[in-house]
Structure formats: structure tokens, C-alpha cells
Structure 1
């Protein structure tokens, strides 16, 4: 094993393991671990395009925790496991290099552009989950399911201030929405700050951040005829 991750305490280590586990459940392609100056930033792609023509937006989930001030690293791993010491986690033998990890959000320049109730985010997440489930017939191929997910989660949602619906999926999948009732409704609601910097938009929950890159999918561009004009 490589050098272990040394966190601030056992509770923080459990927090990081929870984030890693949620990333795996969401089908994310690894977790990026960036540590310096006593701060550990965990990032994972809740959604990301898999090919050139894939319309899935790039939507990242982020959690920031305390770490050992001596720890310094920047790598992407498939998983993390508990170590022998409660405040330590073990890294796998090899790191990853997924495409989404090469697209980093800016560190500064964020300006607030709005506020979203967490209840609205939760509602749009549940709507999208239901739409994907009901839109995927038995026996549907992987490509068909991926295209459906790209359409549902990549579509601009006016209830989310025009952001792709996938930001709601990310908040749900990574547990940023707080306590929920039996029907999925948020009990402990919060007002979520929405900020922008360049092409990125960030939803700042008390439990983490969701970042979306670029505009949401708003439909295909109209096909134009080519060739010599008539007459």
C-alpha cells in the first residue's frame, strides 16, 4: 500500500469513507483526493460524458474536510478502505486518470447569482430518478440507458434556475440534501447558495458542494440545408 491518508480524527475518516462509498453507488469514475495545508478536498463526477457525442453534463460533487497538515497529495482512486488507526485510510496500489479529473473548477471569482430551496432540489432529483426508471424498458441496452440518462439529467430545469437537472441528482446521490422522509421529501430544508465563476456554477450545501460546468442541454440545433441556393 502507498502512504495512508491521515485525517484529523476518526469521525473525519468515517466522513471520507462515506463520500467514497456514495461515489461508488452513484457509478462515479473514482474520487479525486487533493490535500495540502491541513485541508483535504474530495471530488467525484456524479455525471460526466463518456464519449465525444455524449450529451451528459459534467457535474461534480465536492466535500472538504480537515487532514494532517503534513499530508500533501493529488490523485484519483477507485476506493478507500479503513486503516488500522481510526484516523487513517488506506489508498489502493494504483491511481486513476479519468477525463473528468482534468477539468477543474476555478478556485476564485465566485459570485452569488441566486438561492435555491433544498426542497426544490430534492423534488427535481426524485422526478428525474422516476423518469429514468420509467423510461428504461426491460432489456434496454447500455447505450440506450446512457442516452436516456443524458437527456433527463442534462436537460435545463427552470425550477433549478435553468441548471441541468443533474445537479439535483448529484445532491441526492452524495447525501447533501439532509434528512428525508419516507417519500423522499427533505425534512431539514436549507436555502442553497448558487454562485458562478466563468463556465462553472456551484450549489453550496451545508454538507458539500455540487458544481456544474457549461450550459445545460436545451435541445438539438436545427438542421440547415447545404448546397447551392435555389434560383
Structure 2
């Protein structure tokens, strides 16, 4: 059902809109055309998909990125909207009494957002991981994909190699998929030197000051041959 014009978000500043817009823009660098917005009270959380399986035989891990923003007026809704439409609404935010109102665009039905979101509570802290370690994972993963994927390869072949690379476990004891490193790079979360790791089965989470990355892992063994 389309969102009505009465559905809106009231932000405390243009900076908070700009921060959220940058996060959403960066998610568009991967195969992501929609954003899920969950508003509750004085907080709105934007969810984006960096990686997700397509079909029963696709072993690509589900990797999500999220970033929150403070609201000046309480709101409550859970909608999925096109990135391009939302960005246009951000650009046309209406200032009133030192707050900034953004009317939501029409919702876009999508099978990719039928998945339940990770829980908000019950997370167990496991440790930390260095941003430099994740950056190495991204570089090596890109090299493998570039080396193995034939030029002009069909989409299903490209997806197969990407699934292998980004589904590989980079930390055996934690079950952390390489896709979290791709998400951190894509979404610009490498501002912190270290990221906190926590788990709430079947999800594992990386937290930074810029947002969070959450992954539901499907184990894949990478064949280097």
C-alpha cells in the first residue's frame, strides 16, 4: 500500500538529513535500490541490503547496514521506499520552526525485504576487529573476483563468484563472513580503528560510530584453485 502524504519524518537538523542521505547514497554503490525505514519514537533507522541471496540455491550471506537519526517529532512506521525517491525528498526538506520535515515517497513492494530484521536486544559481546584487517579482506576479495570472473560474464556467473568470496568465513571462531568487510567499505564505516563484534543467533553484528553491519551467515568454502 502506498505511503500517504501524512507520513513524514521531522529531523532536528539538516546535518542529520545529510548524514542519512550519504549512508543511503553509498548503499546504492552495490545492487541496492530500496531502503527500509523503521521509525519508533524519536528515532528513525535506515536499513540497506549490501548482500542477499536470491533463490534457494544461492549461498550469498545476508549482510545489512543500518544507521539511525534523531527525530524532533515522534513517528511510528515501517516502510520500504526507493532510494532515488527518498533522496529527492531529502533534498526538498521543508524547514519550519528550526526543524526539517521530509515527506515520505510511495512505498515499493519488494520480496528482498520480506526478511525479518535483526533483534534489538539480547546481544552478546564477543570482541573487536580492526578496520585495517577488514580492509585487507576487501582488497583480497576484489582481487580474487577480478582474477576469476571472465570478462563479459553472465550475471549468474558473477553472482556465483561473489557468493563464494563474500560468503567465506574470515574468522572461524566467530563465523564472520567476508561480506561484512565489503559492507564496511561500501557504507564508509572505516572511520573507527576497531569495530565491536556481538552476536544474537543467527545474526552477528559489527558496530561503529557511523552505524552497524549485521550478517546472517551461510557457510561457504572458497576454492582458491
Deviation at 1:161, TM superposition (A): 4.6
TM superposition shift of 1:43: 0.7
What is aligned with 2:110?
97
**Equivalent position of 1:210 in the other structure:** 213
Quote the residue 1:52 is aligned against.
56
Aligned to 1:201: 204
Which stretches in structure 2 are left out of the alignment for 5+ residues? Answer: none
- Which of 135, 147, 158 aligns to 1:145? It is 158
CA RMSD of aligned residues (A): 2.1
| 1:210 positional shift | 0.5
Q: Is the 8 A contact 1:163 1:216 kept in 2?
A: no
Larger strand percent: 2
* Cα deviation digits, residues 29-72 of structure 1 (max 9, x gap): 41110111100111111100011110100011011111233322
2-structure distance, mates of 1:196, 1:103: 16
Asked if 2 retains the 8 angstrom alpha-carbon contact of 1:56 and 1:154, the reply is yes
TM-score by length of 1: 0.83
Q: Distance in 2 between the 1:198 and 1:109 partners?
A: 10
Normalised by the length of structure 2, the TM-score is: 0.85
**Number of matched residues?**
210
1:64-112 CA distance string (max 9 Å, x none)? 1112333222111111122242533343223333334422111111111
Partner of 2:120: 107
